[in-house]
Amino acid sequence: MDVKEYRGVMVLGEQRNGTIHRVTFELLNRGRSLADKLGVELSCAILGDRVDDLGEVILRGADKVYHVCSQDLATFLPGPYTRALVQLIQEEKPEIIIAAATTTGRTVMPLVAARLGTGLTADCTYLDIDPEERILLQTRPAIGGNIMATIKTPFTRPQMATVRPRSTRPAPRDESRTGEITVKNYGDMLVSLTERFLEFMADPSQEVNIQDADIIVSGGKGLKNREGFKLVEELARVLGAGVGATRDAVELGWISYSHQIGLSGKTVSPKLYIAVGISGKVQHLAGMQTSETIVAINKDPDAQIFQVADFGIVGDAFEVVPELIDALKKLRTGA
Amino acid sequence: MNIVVLIKQVPGTDNVKMDPKTGTMIRTGKDNIINPLDENALEEALRLKRSLKNVTVTVVSMGPESAMKAIKEAIAMGADGGILLSGRAFAGSDTIATARVLSSAIRKLWPVDLILCGERATDGETGQTGAMVAAMLDIPVQTYVQKLEVGDGIITVERLVEGGFERVQVKIPALVTVVKGINQPGFPTLAGKLRAKEVQVPVWGPEDVGLVPDEIGLKGSPTRVVKIFSPKLSRDTIMYRHDNTGRAISELINFLGAREIIV
Ligand SMILES: Cc1cc2nc3c(=O)[nH]c(=O)nc-3n(C[C@H](O)[C@H](O)[C@H](O)COP(=O)(O)OP(=O)(O)OC[C@H]3O[C@@H](n4cnc5c(N)ncnc54)[C@H](O)[C@@H]3O)c2cc1C
Ligand SMILES: Nc1ncnc2c1ncn2[C@@H]1O[C@H](COP(=O)(O)O)[C@@H](O)[C@H]1O
């Protein structure tokens, strides 16, 4: 592999039902700064059937948009997505490709990396360019989030990484930007003989997708029982927030696994994370410690959660949370 | 039906102690466990074994010799047999090199109908080995699976995705990575433990799976760790006590207002 043949930064945008998803703009933000550091073009791949507003992708920082257009890409299937992306990479030869650490990105990127025999670093929290080597530096939590590791892919291309949704702001819109939109048609190659998408079922208990939420209110064993856990849900409702939970709360059946945050659950980094009755064991911290602002409510002043909190209230959740709910409601009604 | 379950031995992080000075984990090493999600993968295989005829479950693990314990434990839980991939040459493998070793071993066990993995391991936490193995074997993959049904030459899965579930059907052979919600792992039985003592578990090195040194270990790994450092764990915390809840709450609201989180 001649690494010099590869040039440019590509991000893998995402669409849902033909609408560009916000994570695309976050990727463009990351991608733009890497492309500028390297002095190369930024392109965005969008896989899907009909997709609205490809022009928006240009206004948000892409120099080129490649829309791989096919009805076989309307919903996510690993086979067609992988073949489309491998083909596109072989044609356009980007030196770096970045995707979101969504269920789609986290599935298709390893498949593509394995096909191309190149390296992939998952869930990077920080990406940079080594100015001397002109190489991508990928930083991610290692060993449950207590150590950070910086990783590079020296000999193979493209250099591949996923970054967590909500870990950057969306790129700002610049009306004066111009760029090129190319539609790629890969025909029958994308038909899958071994996979069939049946249906999508929305999960009402996941109404606020916690990984997309700006605010998460999370509860732990300190809430005592299912009834107590409802306090957390009510606080979330008042704040328009998502509901998170520790493994213990999930195992006790107070809420479903899709709300579990931590090493064996989801990783989140919302603008605000409120931890109620959570001790802050490393496995839980691994899933939330990169949140922008952390508020902890716990009756034990020595609880480890306070070490990562920006604002801590030592107190009984059953006193503090209802008062907080009242205060927020008053704020809303302007009373 | 031949099922392979990929299991990884990881540090049992329950009793993890943090070094207060360096912020790093103090590992004791002796309390290694089967990666928790791999126990769910194994349980799913055992569930199929209980409900279908002629199911053979083989666990495969790449790791140091101590990973034999994980394989024996899996057998004690109900697996029929296992393969340990071990050898100095495997050390330092990243996910691509690991997937290369695992897929080569699975090819040797062929025909295989279903390969089950955990969605991610708690140590590396990359969640990419399973999909890479599928790509190398050129078989369909489904990730984040929380429900699985085996039909005639096909499997139907329910995937946990953003905002809901997807139902997808794939032909077998296929690889599936599972999430925790799929089942409740069982425990080793006494009979299982006795059987685990009897069962011979072959240990395969690179030559047994037809790999040369350039394809495995650090040499076969496209990624390199260039630096390891401790993040700043503690933030500058503003603390309030319970003796003045009202004050704490109004300060909190001011604080969130100042950070433009609530308006
Ligand atoms: C391999 C592995 C993976 C794991 N993965 C995860 C994971 O993904 N996510 C996760 O969360 N955990 C995970 N864990 C478990 C983790 O180690 C902890 O056991 C768990 O996070 C603790 O949950 P908790 O904080 O709800 O409970 P506890 O540790 O029991 O803490 C409860 C807290 O509530 C406080 N409290 C009690 N009463 C009140 C009250 N009235 N008001 C206010 N505070 C009160 C207590 O002071 C205490 O700090 C994992 C463990 C292992 C080994
Ligand atoms: N060394 C290994 N031996 C066997 N299986 C593994 C190994 N590494 C990873 N796996 C499998 O791949 C899954 C994902 O691991 P990871 O990519 O490390 O997060 C695990 O849950 C295992 O099923």
CB A72 within 8 A of CB A191: yes
Q: What pLDDT is recorded for position B232?
A: 64
Number of the ligand 2 atom closest to the C-alpha atom of B132: 17
Number of the ligand 1 atom closest to the C-alpha atom of A297: 43
DSSP string over B5-50: EE--EEE-GGG-EE-TTT--EE--STTEEE-HHHHHHHHHHHHHHH
Say which range, A172-186, A234-248, A277-291, has the weakest mean pLDDT: A277-291
- Within 13 Å of residue A214, how many CA atoms lie on the same side as its CB? 8
Percentage of chain A beyond pLDDT 70 is 96
Whether A209 and B163 lie within 8 Å, measured CB to CB: yes
User: Span A235-244, mean pLDDT?
Assistant: 94
A273 touches chain B (CB under 8 A): no
Longest dimension (CA), chain A: 67
A22 touches chain B (CB under 8 A): no
Whether B245 and A320 lie within 8 Å, measured CB to CB: yes
Nearest CA to ligand 1 atom 9: A262
Say which range, A158-162, A171-175, A295-299, A330-334, has the weakest mean pLDDT: A330-334
Distance of CA A162 from the midpoint of ligand 2 (Å): 18
Interface test with A, best of B117, B137, B159, B235 (most A CBs within 10 A): B235
A206 is in an annotated binding site: no
Whether A114 and B135 lie within 8 Å, measured CB to CB: yes
Whether A314 and B242 lie within 8 Å, measured CB to CB: yes
> Residue B18: which of A122, A146, A215 has the nearest Cβ?
A146
Domain ranges (residues) in chain B: 2-215
Mean confidence (pLDDT) of chain A: 92
Q: Report the residue of chain A nearest B237, measured CA to CA.
A: A310
Say which range, A69-78, A120-129, A201-210, B93-102, has the weakest mean pLDDT: A201-210
Distance from CA of A32 to the nearest CA of B (A): 23
Q: Report the residue of chain A nearest B96, measured CA to CA.
A: A114
Please give the structure tokens belonging to residue A299.
Answer: 């009756």
Secondary structure element (H or E) that encloses residue B129, with its range:
helix B129-137
Q: Is the CB of A299 under 6 A from ligand 1?
A: yes
Q: What pLDDT is recorded for position A168?
A: 80
Cα–Cα distances (Å) from B165 to A168, A205, B144, B179, in that order, read 26, 11, 10, 12
Q: What pLDDT is recorded for position A143?
A: 65
A147 is in an annotated binding site: no
In angstroms, the first-to-last Cα distance of chain B is: 59
A294 is in an annotated binding site: no
Give the separation between CA A183 and CA A40, rounded to whole angstroms. 21
Strand partners, B150: B155
Q: What pLDDT is recorded for position B242?
A: 61
A106 is in an annotated binding site: no
Interface of A with B in 144-173 (CB under 8 A): 144-156
Amino acid letter, A23: V
Percentage of chain A beyond pLDDT 90 is 78
Over the stretch A295-325, which tens digit does the pLDDT of each residue have? Answer: 999 999 999 999 999 999 999 999 999 999 9
Whether A239 and B262 lie within 8 Å, measured CB to CB: yes
Q: What pLDDT is recorded for position A253?
A: 93
* HEC per residue, A16-74: ECCEECHHHHHHHHHHHHHHHHHCCCEEEEEEECCCCCHHHHHHCCCCEEEEEECHHHC
Residues of B in contact with A282 (CB under 8 A): 13, 16, 18, 25
Question: Residue B81's closest CA among B39, B111, B109, B114?
Answer: B109
pLDDT tens digits in sequence order for chain B, 263 residues long: 999 999 999 987 554 454 444 444 455 556 789 999 999 999 999 999 999 999 999 999 999 999 999 999 999 999 999 999 999 999 989 999 999 999 999 999 999 999 999 998 877 768 999 999 999 999 999 999 999 999 999 999 999 998 899 999 999 999 999 998 899 999 999 999 999 999 999 999 999 999 999 999 999 999 998 888 876 666 778 888 767 788 899 999 999 988 888 76
Q: What pLDDT is recorded for position A19?
A: 96
Over the stretch A89-106, which tens digit does the pLDDT of each residue have? Answer: 999 999 999 999 999 999
Over the stretch A102-135, which tens digit does the pLDDT of each residue have? Answer: 999 999 999 999 999 999 999 888 899 998 999 9
Distance from CA of A180 to the nearest CA of B (A): 31
CB A109 within 8 A of CB A82: no
- Identify the CATH assignment for B2-215 out of 3.40.50.620, 3.40.50.150, 3.90.230.10, 3.40.50.720: 3.40.50.620
Domains contained in chain A, CATH given: 3-190 (3.40.50.620), 215-333 (3.40.50.1220)
> Residue B229: which of A148, A153, A271 has the nearest Cβ?
A148
Distance of CA B102 from the midpoint of ligand 2 (Å): 9
A87 touches chain B (CB under 8 A): no
Query: Residue A160 in 3-state DSSP?
Result: strand
Number of the ligand 1 atom closest to the C-alpha atom of B13: 53
